[in-house]
Structure 1
Amino acid sequence: MAINIVGAITGVMSCLCTQNCLQESLGHHIRHLRRPKRNLNKLKSLLEELDARKVDMCAKLNQMWLQKGMNPKKEVELWLKNVDEIANEVNKIIREVEQESGSTSVLSPFYYSSRIKRGELIEKKMEEVRELLEKGRFADDSLAETSPQKGQTLPTTKLMEHETTMKNLTKILNFILDDRVRIIGVHGMGGVGKTTIMAEINNRLLRENRLFDSVIWVSSSKDMKTEELQKVIAGKFDIDLSGFQDETSGAATLFEAFQRRKKFALILDDLWEPFSLERVGIPIPTVENGCKLLITTRRVSVCRGMETDRDVKVKALTENEAWDLFRDKVGDEALASPDIKLIAKDVAKECMGLPLGIVTVGRALRNATDISEWQISLMGLKASALNIEQMEESVFSRLKFSFTKLKDDTSRSCFLYCALYPEGNHVDANELIEYWMWEGLLGAVDSISASKQKGKIILNELKYACLLENAADNEMECVKMHDLIRDMALTIMKTDP
Structure 2
Amino acid sequence: MGANVQGAMESFFWECISFLRTMVTNFRNLERDMKSLRAETDDLSAQEEDVMTKVEREEVEKGKKRKREVDVWLENVKRFKKEVDGAEENRNEGRISRYKLTKHIEDLKAEVVQLKEKNGFPDGVAIHQLGIPSPQPAATLHSDSANATMKRIWNHLLDVEIRKVGVYGMAGVGKTTILKHIHNQILHSGVFKSILWVTVSKALDLYRLQEEIASAIGLDLSNRVDNEENRSSKIHAELSRRERCLLILDDVWKPFSLDRIGIPEPNQTNGFKLAITTRSITVCRGMESERIVKVEVLLPEEAWDLFEEKVGGPVLDSSEIKPIAELIVKECDCLPLAIITVGRALRGVRDVSVWRNALNELKCSYTEIDGMDDCVFSRLMFSYNRLRNDRIKDCFLYCALYPEDYKIHTEQLIENWVGEGWIDEMENTERERDKGYTILRELIDSCMIKGNDSEYLAGRLDTTELHDLIRDLAINITRVSPRFMVKAREYLEETPRVEEWVENTKRASLMDNKIKKLSGQPMCPQLTTLFLQGNHLLTEISNSFFENMQGLRVVDLSKTWINSLPESFFALKNLRVLRLDSCENLHKVPCLATLKHLRVLSLESTLIKELPQGIEELVNLRKLRLNHTSRLNLFPAGIIPKLTLLEELEMGGSGWRWPSDTTRAAADIKEIVESTKITCLQLCFEDVNGFNNLVGSGKVSALKSFHIALGKTGPHALRESYLFWEFRLFEKML
Tell me the distance in 1 between the aligned counterparts of 2:315 and 2:235: 52
* Structure 2 equivalent of residue 170 of structure 1: 151
> What is the Cα deviation at residue 422 of structure 1?
1.4
* Structure 1 equivalent of residue 437 of structure 2: 456
Q: Contact conserved, 2:142 with 2:306, CA < 8 A, in 1?
A: no
Q: Does residue 235 in structure 1 map to residue 215 in structure 2? A: yes
Say which of 177, 180, 194 aligns to 1:214.
194
> What is the Cα deviation at residue 289 of structure 1?
2.1
One-letter amino acid matched to 2:344? R
Secondary structure in structure 2 of the residue aligned to 1:494: coil
C-alpha offsets along residues 55-79 of structure 1, whole Å, 9 cap, x if unaligned? xxxxxxxxxxxxxx9xxxxxxxxxx
Tell me the distance in 2 between the aligned counterparts of 1:152 and 1:492: 40
One-letter amino acid matched to 1:216? L
One-letter amino acid matched to 1:236? A
Say which of 170, 173, 185 aligns to 1:192.
173
* Structure 2 equivalent of residue 203 of structure 1: 184
Structure 2 unmatched ranges of 5 or more:
1-62, 64-128, 484-734
* Structure 2 equivalent of residue 483 of structure 1: 468
Q: Contact conserved, 1:216 with 1:265, CA < 8 A, in 2?
A: yes
Say which of 381, 385, 390 aligns to 1:400.
381
> What is the Cα deviation at residue 185 of structure 1?
0.4
One-letter amino acid matched to 2:374? E
Tell me the distance in 2 between the aligned counterparts of 1:452 and 1:156: 44
One-letter amino acid matched to 1:389? D
Tell me the distance in 1 between the aligned counterparts of 2:340 and 2:253: 24
> What is the Cα deviation at residue 239 of structure 1?
2.4
Q: Contact conserved, 1:332 with 1:367, CA < 8 A, in 2?
A: no
Structure 1 pair 495/390, CA: closer, same or farther in 2 (3 Å)? Answer: farther
One-letter amino acid matched to 1:302? V
Q: Does residue 249 in structure 1 map to residue 230 in structure 2? A: yes
Say which of 229, 238, 242 aligns to 1:261.
242
Secondary structure in structure 2 of the residue aligned to 1:471: strand
Q: Contact conserved, 2:231 with 2:262, CA < 8 A, in 1?
A: yes
* Structure 2 equivalent of residue 154 of structure 1: 136
* Structure 1 equivalent of residue 318 of structure 2: 337
* Structure 1 equivalent of residue 577 of structure 2: none
One-letter amino acid matched to 1:155? P
Q: Does residue 389 in structure 1 map to residue 370 in structure 2? A: yes
Tell me the distance in 1 between the aligned counterparts of 2:172 and 2:366: 20
Q: Contact conserved, 1:212 with 1:265, CA < 8 A, in 2?
A: yes
Secondary structure in structure 1 of the residue aligned to 2:275: strand
Tell me the distance in 1 between the aligned counterparts of 2:357 and 2:455: 39
* Structure 2 equivalent of residue 495 of structure 1: 480
Q: Does residue 183 in structure 1 map to residue 168 in structure 2? A: no
Q: Does residue 321 in structure 1 map to residue 330 in structure 2? A: no
Tell me the distance in 1 between the aligned counterparts of 2:265 and 2:331: 43
Tell me the distance in 2 between the aligned counterparts of 1:248 and 1:273: 21
Q: Contact conserved, 1:150 with 1:206, CA < 8 A, in 2?
A: no
Secondary structure in structure 1 of the residue aligned to 2:238: helix
Tell me the distance in 2 between the aligned counterparts of 1:156 and 1:339: 35
Secondary structure in structure 2 of the residue aligned to 1:254: helix
TM-score normalized with structure 1 length = 0.67
C-alpha offsets along residues 361-396 of structure 1, whole Å, 9 cap, x if unaligned? 111111111110000111111121222122122111
Q: Contact conserved, 2:298 with 2:335, CA < 8 A, in 1?
A: yes
Tell me the distance in 2 between the aligned counterparts of 1:291 and 1:397: 35
* Structure 2 equivalent of residue 288 of structure 1: 269
> What is the Cα deviation at residue 475 of structure 1?
4.0
Structure 1 pair 169/329, CA: closer, same or farther in 2 (3 Å)? Answer: same
* Structure 1 equivalent of residue 41 of structure 2: none
CA RMSD of aligned residues (A): 1.9
Tell me the distance in 2 between the aligned counterparts of 1:444 and 1:470: 24
* Structure 2 equivalent of residue 429 of structure 1: 410
* Structure 2 equivalent of residue 225 of structure 1: 205
Say which of 394, 398, 414 aligns to 1:417.
398
> What is the Cα deviation at residue 231 of structure 1?
0.6
Number of matched residues? 350
C-alpha offsets along residues 171-228 of structure 1, whole Å, 9 cap, x if unaligned? 111111111100000011111110010000100110112x111110111121122111
Structure 1 pair 473/374, CA: closer, same or farther in 2 (3 Å)? Answer: farther
> What is the Cα deviation at residue 149 of structure 1?
4.8
> What is the Cα deviation at residue 469 of structure 1?
1.6
Larger helix share, 1 or 2: 1
Tell me the distance in 1 between the aligned counterparts of 2:209 and 2:256: 10
* Structure 1 equivalent of residue 352 of structure 2: 371
Say which of 425, 431, 442 aligns to 2:423.
442
Q: Contact conserved, 1:429 with 1:479, CA < 8 A, in 2?
A: yes
> What is the Cα deviation at residue 443 of structure 1?
4.8
Tell me the distance in 2 between the aligned counterparts of 1:330 and 1:473: 39
> What is the Cα deviation at residue 302 of structure 1?
0.6
Q: Contact conserved, 1:226 with 1:247, CA < 8 A, in 2?
A: no
Structure 1 pair 386/495, CA: closer, same or farther in 2 (3 Å)? Answer: farther
Structure 1 unmatched ranges of 5 or more:
1-68, 70-146
Secondary structure in structure 2 of the residue aligned to 1:153: coil
> What is the Cα deviation at residue 338 of structure 1?
2.8
> What is the Cα deviation at residue 441 of structure 1?
2.9
> What is the Cα deviation at residue 451 of structure 1?
3.1
Q: Does residue 471 in structure 1 map to residue 452 in structure 2? A: yes
Q: Contact conserved, 1:334 with 1:368, CA < 8 A, in 2?
A: yes
> What is the Cα deviation at residue 341 of structure 1?
2.2
One-letter amino acid matched to 2:294? K
C-alpha offsets along residues 134-179 of structure 1, whole Å, 9 cap, x if unaligned? xxxxxxxxxxxxx965312112223x24111011011111111111
Structure 1 pair 445/393, CA: closer, same or farther in 2 (3 Å)? Answer: farther
> What is the Cα deviation at residue 448 of structure 1?
3.9
